[in-house]
Structures are given as C-alpha cells and as structure tokens.
Amino acid sequence: MAIRYELIKECKQTGARLGRLHTPHGVIETPIFMPVGTQATVKAMTPEELKDMAAQIILSNTYHLYLRPGHELVKEAGGLHKFMNWDRPILTDSGGFQVFSLGDLRKISEEGVEFQSHLDGSRHFLSPERVMEIETALGADIIMAFDECAPYPADYDYVKKSMERTTRWAKRCKDSFENTENQALFGIVQGGMFRDLREQSAKELVELDFPGYSIGGLSVGESKDLMYEVLDYTTPLLPKNKPRYLMGVGSPDALIEGVIRGVDMFDCVLPTRIARNGTAMTSEGRIAIKNAKYTRDFTPLDPNCTCYTCKNYTRAYLRHLYKADEILSSRLMSTHNLYFLIHLMKQVREAIMEDRLMDFRNEFFAKYYGETLL
C-alpha cells in the first residue's frame, strides 16, 4: 500500500479528526490545506517558499499537464516531483472536473470523454484507463479516479446516471491501475445534493476498498449551507481508517466547517487567485489592497501574521506594487494567503488536539466575518 492513514484523535465536540497520512514522499499532518500547482508550479511560488511556510503536500492538474507539457515528457523528466523540484507529497486530480467544464467542447459516452483542448482545439479522448496511464506517468503520491462532476443544479435522473457511471469508471480505474505500491488511488463520491445518491455512491465505492475517498461535486454553485448538509450525511458513510478529501474548497469558513464534519484534506486555487487580484485573507477578514485607504498605511497586511510578507512589507508598499502591476505583488500576496490557510489549518489541528475546536471556530469567525456567520 502506498499510503497509510493514522487516526490520532477524534474531536469530542464535532466530527473532526486529527491524523497523519504516511505517503511515499513523507508524512502529512491532517486536516490539511493543499496549495494548487495547476501547471506543475504553484503560481508565483518556488518549492522552497512553500516549504518555508510549512506546505506539506501540493496538488497538480492532470488535464493541464496531459495537454502541456504532456505526461510522457514529465515521465521522461523523472516524474512530476523531479520535473518541478518538489520532493514532498503530490496529489493529482483526474482531469474530470476540467474536461466536464469544457461544455460544448466535450462529448461523454460510457467509454469515456472526447474533448477539444482549450489551448489549440486539438481532439483528445480520456477514459478511466487512459487517465490511470497519465496519472501513473506523472507519479503523484495520491491520484484520483476519473469521475464526472455533475453540474449544479441538475435533476435527479441526470445526477443518478452520472454518479453510477462515475462508480463504474472508478472500478475500471481500480482494475487498470497497477502502480499501487507507489501511488494511492482515491475513489470520488458523487451524487449531487441528493442524499440517497450520495449514500449509494459512498456504499459502492467503499465496497471497492480504495485507500482514500474524495467528496466531489460540491462547491459548484450551491449554498454553503447545502454543502454542509451534504457533508453532514456523507462523511459518516466513509471508513474511519481512510483519509477524506473535499475537492475545490478553500475559503476559511468552509475549511473549518469541513473539518468539523470529518474532512481531512482540502485544495483550492482561491488563495493564489485572489492574491494575484490584490485580495488578502487576514485575521480580520479580506482586504483589497488597491483600496485608497491603504495608500499611506505603513502597517503589515495582517498585524497578527508572521509570514514573510507581513514581517517585511507594509500595506502601502503592497498597494504600490499592485497598482504598478509588479510581479512581486503576486508573489508577496500569494505568500501571505497560502501561509494564512496553512497556518489556519495548523491552528485547527491544535484546537482538535486540545478539544476546543468549536471555541476556535467561533473566535475565528467573529474576527474574520464579524457576527454574520455566528
């Protein structure tokens, strides 16, 4: 087995779990937020900077790497770790989400998905077997089965058919995937916002005995309350001795609420994307650095933060860099936002350990969102 999940402690107040995930490239403390490196680079960052902020695992995207530079090239380079100079764990998604997001540019059949590249319009075909081939070539520690992420809203029949095909594809992935000693294949629970479909999906996937499970099809446009409701009934269906990964979630409230509902792993482009747009997550909520009120603000982005950016630069300087369209703006803002989420999850782990997760949640929310979410 490529990975092993070690359950350290269950929260007394909530469904939260403290754990350790042992992988071929090291041990990950969970719950964890995983920075996203779509094209074999976490945008604007070096691997050393990610390590300095205690990033333990990063995610990369199969769809993008398959199209450019190509998985065969990455394999020739010695695999994704070596190609991008990152020696800690990596997780690759399956490309399913990206392919299905192509809309008119893709056609689904039982066999797989035919689609056109968003880069050059060239035609491609991805099947569960082909995706396993690609993810094996990339060589991430944790890889995802090829799934369909149903849109939201979608009617019951569509979601049911899609979920059942995703389960059949999960089985085909498992049957064709051979590199089980070095890589762990996760199944992805689908079923939209329908409880019985989530139950069916979870049950059938658990029978296939994957080393870990993702929860897909959330954070796709539904309300956060609905997402939490789905998590409420979905995570208890998953085995306690396996890690649970909620895909595409990265806002501080959703991370904490996800942990409370028993999720161990999260990923999202949110921190780096809003950073490049000049928005910082701080202990007192989001701030848009271009705001005129920061023109002569010679205090750090977040007075309670100890990241490289907050230790060395002022809001006035960050605003100047952003207005002047300087690359250093993206760097310093991304550094801060990633540190913020990674550090948030560290605090969450400490709170679980000390049986005060709900107190931590309430204090954090009061400062970050004001009273609105309490």
Our finding on whether 124 is near a copy of itself (CB under 8 A) is no
Asked whether the beta carbons of 319 and 289 are under 8 A apart, the reply is: yes
The answer for residues whose C-beta is within 8 angstroms of residue 46's C-beta and 6 or more apart is none
CB of 37 to a copy of itself, least distance (A): 10
Q: Which stretch binds a copy of itself (CB under 8 A): 12-20, 184-192, 285-293, 317-325?
A: 317-325
Catalytic position from the list 52, 93, 157, 232: 93
Amino acid identity, residue 259?
V
Look at residues 186, 317, 320, 290 and name the one whose alpha carbon lies nearest to residue 244. 186
Query: Would you say 43 or 286 has its CB closer to a copy of itself?
Result: 43
Q: How far is 167 from 173, CA to CA, in rounded Å?
A: 10
Asked whether the beta carbons of 194 and 154 are under 8 A apart, the reply is: no
Our finding on whether 138 is near a copy of itself (CB under 8 A) is no
Look at residues 141, 138, 143, 136 and name the one whose alpha carbon lies nearest to residue 170. 143
Catalytic position from the list 141, 264, 267, 302: 267
Annotated binding residue at 336? yes
The phi and psi torsions of 73 (rounded to 5 degrees) equal -65, -45
Our finding on whether 101 is near a copy of itself (CB under 8 A) is no
CB of 43 to a copy of itself, least distance (A): 6
Q: What is the size of the binding site for a copy of itself (CB under 8 A)?
A: 34
Of the residues 54, 85, 180, 303, which one makes contact with a copy of itself according to CB under 8 A: 85
Q: What is the three-class DSSP state of 147? A: coil
E strand or H helix that includes residue 315: helix 315-323
Our finding on whether 321 is near a copy of itself (CB under 8 A) is yes
DSSP 22: E
Our finding on whether 293 is near a copy of itself (CB under 8 A) is no
267 is catalytic: yes
Our finding on whether 275 is near a copy of itself (CB under 8 A) is no
CB of 45 to a copy of itself, least distance (A): 7
Annotated binding residue at 307? yes
Asked whether the beta carbons of 251 and 269 are under 8 A apart, the reply is: no
Query: Would you say 110 or 325 has its CB closer to a copy of itself?
Result: 325
Of the residues 11, 18, 45, 170, which one makes contact with a copy of itself according to CB under 8 A: 45
155 is catalytic: no
Amino acid identity, residue 221?
G
The answer for residues whose C-beta is within 8 angstroms of residue 145's C-beta and 6 or more apart is 94, 128, 131, 166, 169, 170, 173, 174, 185, 186, 187, 188, 210
Q: How far is 214 from 196, CA to CA, in rounded Å?
A: 17
Our finding on whether 313 is near a copy of itself (CB under 8 A) is yes
CB of 41 to a copy of itself, least distance (A): 5
Asked whether the beta carbons of 114 and 99 are under 8 A apart, the reply is: no
The phi and psi torsions of 278 (rounded to 5 degrees) equal 85, 20
Q: How far is 135 from 142, CA to CA, in rounded Å?
A: 9
Which two structure tokens, joined as six digits, stand for 193? 């916002």
Of the residues 118, 203, 323, 367, which one makes contact with a copy of itself according to CB under 8 A: 323
Our finding on whether 292 is near a copy of itself (CB under 8 A) is no
CB of 35 to a copy of itself, least distance (A): 13
Catalytic site residues? 93, 267
Instruction: Give the footprint of a copy of itself on this chain (CB under 8 A).
Output: 39-41, 43-46, 68-69, 73, 76-78, 83-85, 295-296, 298, 312-314, 316-317, 319-321, 323-324, 326-328, 330-331
- Known binding-site residues for Zn(2+) equal 305, 307, 310, 336
- Known binding-site residues for substrate equal 93-97, 147, 190, 217
